[in-house]
Amino acid sequence: MLDLKKLIDGMTVEEKIGQLAQFNANVFSGSDADITGPLVKNGLTGDDLYRIGSLLNFKDSKEMNELQKRHLEGDRNKIPMVFMMDVIHGYRTIFPIPLALGGSFDTELVEECTRMSAVEASSAGVQVTFTPMVDYVRDARWGRVMETCGEEPILNGIMGAAQVKAFHGEDMSKFGGLATCVKHYAAYGGAEAGRDYNQVELSEHILREFYLPAYKACIDAGVDMLMPSFNVLNGVPAVANSWLMKKVLREEWGFEGVVISDYDAVGELITHGIAADKKEAAKYAFKNGCDIEMCSNGYIKHLKEMIEEGIFTEEQLDAVVLKILELKKRLGLFEDPYKGASPETEEKTCLTAENRALVRKAANECAVLLKNDGVLPFSKEHKKIALIGPFADNHNIIGFWSCCGKNEESVTVKQGVQSKLPDVEIKVVKGCSDKWNEIDKSRFDEAVKAAREADIVILCLGEPQNYSGEGNCRTDLDLPGVQNELAEKVIGANSNTAVLLFTGRPLAISKLDSIAPAILNMWFPGTEGGNAAADLLFGDANPSGKITMTFPKSVGQCPIYYNHTNTGRPISKQRDEMHNPYASNYIDCGNLPLYSFGHGLSYSNFVYEGMTLSKKEMNIDGEIKVTVTVYNDSDIAGKETVQLYMRDLVASTARPVQQLIAFEKITLGPKERKTVEFAVTEPMLRFWNSENEFVSEKGEFTLSVGYADNMYYTERFSLK
Ligand code: GLC
């Protein structure tokens, strides 16, 4: 039986500290003799080769096996390295970006896709994934909104917990089981002005109400690791923030897992102006419970010296080493450092027809029908189709953070439509540059001609996938370049036009929305995006996705979100588009968004026939049953996410005008009626008050069914 404490007792201080260091695999990819280049750049020596505890961003199973073998031959303690990577929305077969996946409101689908990606990643040698990313967001200018499930903390937590469970699988120590790392703790998504890595200033009760719950949900689900964020939070960068790292994470939440810094975040304490040098940066990070330092060398270079100086004790170091070795043990690495990863396993595990079918289904479930004047679904009888726009025949639709997925392995819209309708004549015209910000309109005439001559037009617009993701923030959320003008010309030439939208964020597409007969938001749908688009456009799939982040009318409204407070001077919906003096509104734009949280249409016609409450009063240990009846008044089967919202009418702090407290996705056949039942209990009414207590307060509440800007029924009840 492996005795980890005994193993640690036999290690030198340098070997112990090596377990706390993680570097890019390319630092070691040269030969043993190659200690120039990345090794030296990282201040490492040849000896370090055999001390480093973990690597990230390696290429594949071949490289992992080679590096692990060489390491074990050189490490006298025979401690396997652990290999980590960002498996965010697929490993090689890519499913829709998380901002889309959350909108499926389907935890089983999320688990199925995540499980598939875990097996693919495991075949390639990935043993830990830096997932789930559950950062709460309210500002679509921030590029990493694509990586999260949006502006509802409960939903982010549910989807994050589902991913933790799915990555672990039945047995994390076996092939297909990955350890998980929740990130970016905390409030990285609250970056001022929506600019990545910018500072975050939030009150404690807002942090606790909106920004922290999803991380806690993942910890309760058994996440193995946690990654502090790059940002300053209320004056102190997360990795050195003792309120976050010790008071909340360790003392309140009792998290005992491994904490790993983000990429060079420890080194960046110097840039933030918190540390004078690497030694001080390492001191702050280690003191605040950062166990592994990713891609900076403060621990390797200075931790031993700080132990010798008595700043830290070797017992403190041993406790961290033990946590890291326990993680490796849970992963089964001491028994099998390779866990079945091999090129042959990769070959038969990745990008299979079954995996493609799954991500196609996911893309169908995540797409959001924003608008439809009746032009969709298209008939399959048409003979001439014009595919127009920069995404008409474009492989770049798998989104940022697509790990080892390859754009060229994706199915384009043109390929998807042609495959569904092999005999139809398709004319593809880009119409404008996919250099995106060029204002070249020279191909408009060709696009208009194609539109005029076609029976139907599929107009494929959006923002490129490198306009979102890490470091990719925007100050303008409209369609880039001349796409709006192109749309005006094309729709003017043929009103039988549907827009396919490709985006990693909510876009302020008011101009497009004012002229387009239909807009189907595909987000970045992944490897099977083109086939899913064809399924949805021609009615072989019925859209059921909802948006989980508000689409603004104008970027000037950002941050804009559904769970806002009322202010003391709200304006009515009816007066939204006019300026109301001395009220909370704008002179040049209404307050209402273009599309609100929870919006998403269907080809079916869902009629909410009623909502009843089992009683109108509840005491603290009581329960109110809410029954909602939905009827599908159409001949098309479809899925609908029934959403239940709550409002606390009077409390010690101003409460949101709406809060999602429950949801259920149901399937309704043609002319079918179903009732959905929710149970509302007192804990669902609790909030963080201004005294930072998590409480419910007696008084009047409402329950509503519908979605943020469009409630079908609202009923009051009292908490006694
Ligand atoms: C990046 C990201 C983080 C990722 C890490 C390793 O900078 O912020 O989400 O896990 O580096 O790739």
Q: For residue 184, report the distance from its CA to the centre of ligand 1, in Å.
A: 9
- pLDDT exceeds cutoff 70 at 30: no
> Does the structure show a pLDDT above 60 at 36?
no
For atom 8 of ligand 1, the residue with the nearest CA is 262
- With a 6 Å cutoff on the Cβ, whether 264 touches ligand 1 is no
* Separation CA 364–CA 100 (nearest Å): 10
Residue 34 has pLDDT above 70, yes or no: no
3-state helix, strand, coil in the chain (%, to 5): 35, 20, 45
- Burial label for 305, CB within 10 Å (0-12, 13-18, 19+), is exposed
The residues that are catalytic are 262
pLDDT at residue 50 greater than cutoff 90: no
What's the CA gap between 411 and 389, in Å, rounded?
A: 16
pLDDT in tens, 203-214: 999 999 999 999
The 3-state DSSP class for residue 260 equals strand
Q: Which of 171, 181, 160, 6 is nearest to 83 (CA)?
A: 181
The Cα-based distances of 12 to 37, 85, 446 in angstroms read 27, 28, 72
Shortest-distance Cα residue to atom 12 of ligand 1: 86
Pair of tokens at residue 563: 């769970």
pLDDT(91) > 90: yes
The residue among 282, 258, 287, 259 whose CA lies nearest residue 269 is 282
Measured torsion, CA atoms of residues 327, 332, 336, 338, in degrees rounded to the nearest 10: -60
The closest of 666, 670, 675, 665 to 630, measured between CA atoms, is 675
Q: What is the distance in A from the centroid of ligand 1 to the CA of 262?
A: 6
Dist. CA 321–CA 20, nearest whole Å: 7
- Residue 712, helix vs strand vs coil: strand
Convert the pLDDT of each residue in 273-313 to its tens digit. 999 999 999 999 999 999 999 999 999 999 999 999 999 99
Examine the pLDDT at 26 and tell me if it is beyond 90. Answer: no
Q: Compute the distance between CA of residue 536 and CA of residue 513 in angstroms, rounded to an integer.
A: 19
Q: Measure 24 CA to ligand 1 centroid, in angstroms.
A: 12
CB of 86 shorter than 6 A to ligand 1: yes
Find out whether 80 and 173 touch, Cβ atoms under 8 Å.
no
Confidence of residue 692 (pLDDT cuts 50, 70, 90): confident
CB 334 within 8 A of CB 115: no
Banded model confidence at residue 388, pLDDT cuts 50, 70, 90: very high
Distance in angstroms (rounded) separating the CA atoms of residues 437 and 433: 8
Q: Quickly list H helices, 462-521.
A: 483-493, 510-515
CA–centroid distance, residue 263 to ligand 1 (Å) = 6
Task: Please report which confidence band the pLDDT of residue 46 belongs to, taking 50, 70 and 90 as the band edges.
Answer: confident
Q: Could you read off the pLDDT of 502-521 as tens digits, one per residue?
A: 999 999 999 999 999 999 99
Tokens 């499926």 label which residue?
Answer: 104
Q: Is the CB of 196 under 6 A from ligand 1?
A: no
Residue 32 pLDDT > 60: no
Is the CB of residue 135 less than 8 Å from the CB of residue 187? yes
Taking the whole predicted model, whether its pTM rises above 0.85 is answered as yes
* Helix ranges, 331-352 (H): 343-349
Evaluate if residue 33 carries a pLDDT over 80. Answer: no
Q: Which of 261, 268, 470, 472 to mutate to test the pocket of ligand 1 (most atoms within 8 A of CB)?
A: 470
**Which of 180, 173, 68, 54 has its CA nearest to residue 117?**
180
Q: Is the CB of 130 under 6 A from ligand 1?
A: yes
Burial pattern 455-466, b for ≥16 Cβ within 10 A else e, equals bbbbbbbbbbbe
Single-letter amino acid, residue 499: V
Q: In the prediction, which pLDDT does 413 show?
A: 98
Q: Average model confidence (pLDDT) for the chain? A: 96
pLDDT band for position 31 (cuts 50, 70, 90): low
Question: CB neighbours of 41 closer than 8 A, spacing ≥ 6?
Answer: none
Hey, whose CA ends up nearest to atom 7 of ligand 1? 263
Q: What is the dihedral of CA 21, 24, 27, 28, to 10 degrees?
A: 80
**pLDDT at 37 exceeding the cut of 70:** no
d(CA 545, CA 523): 11
What would the pLDDT profile of 424-453 be if each residue is shown by its tens digit?
999 999 999 888 878 899 999 999 999 999
> Which residue type sits at 8?
I
